[in-house]
Amino acid sequence: MQEASRASVVTRAVRIVGGTATTLTGVALLVLPGPGIVLIVAGLGILGKDIPMAARLHQRAMTHAKRAASGAANGARKLRRK
């Protein structure tokens, strides 16, 4: 039983470190060339498994991303009609 608990703690720690590293890399890539926003959203998704605030931020980011994608698709359709 204790080994399972230890494995759970290690898994959680690896997810938190990995999610934090991914998110911070995304923040750095906002000013450097690269997919910063994508990495931030991915990092929040990883962190969201263990941290409720990160899960809420990830959900909010996904909502905005879907809205932006929908707006871009509608704008492209309008351009094609002209």
- For the stretch 18-45, pLDDT in tens is 999 999 999 999 999 988 889 999 999 9
Total tally of structural domains belonging to the chain = 1
> Is the model's pLDDT at 1 over the cut of 60?
no
* Contact (Cβ atoms closer than 8 angstroms) between residue 44 and residue 57: yes
- For the stretch 42-73, pLDDT in tens is 999 999 989 999 999 999 988 988 888 887 77
Assigned token pair, 21: 């590293």
Give the structural domain span for 19.
2-81
**CA 20/CA 69 separation, integer angstroms:** 26
At residue 77, the pLDDT reads 63
Rg of the chain in Å (alpha carbons): 18
What pTM value is reported for the model? 0.73
